[in-house]
Amino acid sequence: MFIFNKTEIEGVFIIEPKVFGDERGFFMETYKQSDFEEAGLNYKFIQDNQSRSHKGVLRGLHYQKNFPQAKLVRVIQGEVFDVAVDLRKDSKTYGKWVGVILSAENKKMFMIPRGFAHGFLVLSDAAEFVYKCDELYHPEDEGGIMWNDPDVNVKWPLNEEPSLSEKDKEHPLLRDSKISF
Cis bond before residue 61 (omega within 30° of 0): yes
Catalytic entry in 43, 63, 131, 171: 131
- Phi and psi at residue 55, to the nearest 5°: -50, 135
SS3 81: strand
160 burial (CB, 10 Å; 0-12 / 13-18 / 19+) is exposed
Rg of the chain taking only CA atoms, in angstroms: 16
Active site residue 131: yes
The H or E element spanning position 168 is helix 166-169
Q: Under a CB-based contact definition with an 8 Å cutoff, are residues 116 and 39 in contact?
A: no
Catalytic entry in 62, 63, 118, 171: 62
Q: Angle at the Cα of 4 (from 18 to 89), degrees rounded to 5?
A: 150
Active site residue 62: yes
The whole-angstrom separation of Cα 61 and Cα 151 is 14
Q: Could you give the residue numbers annotated as active site? A: 62, 131
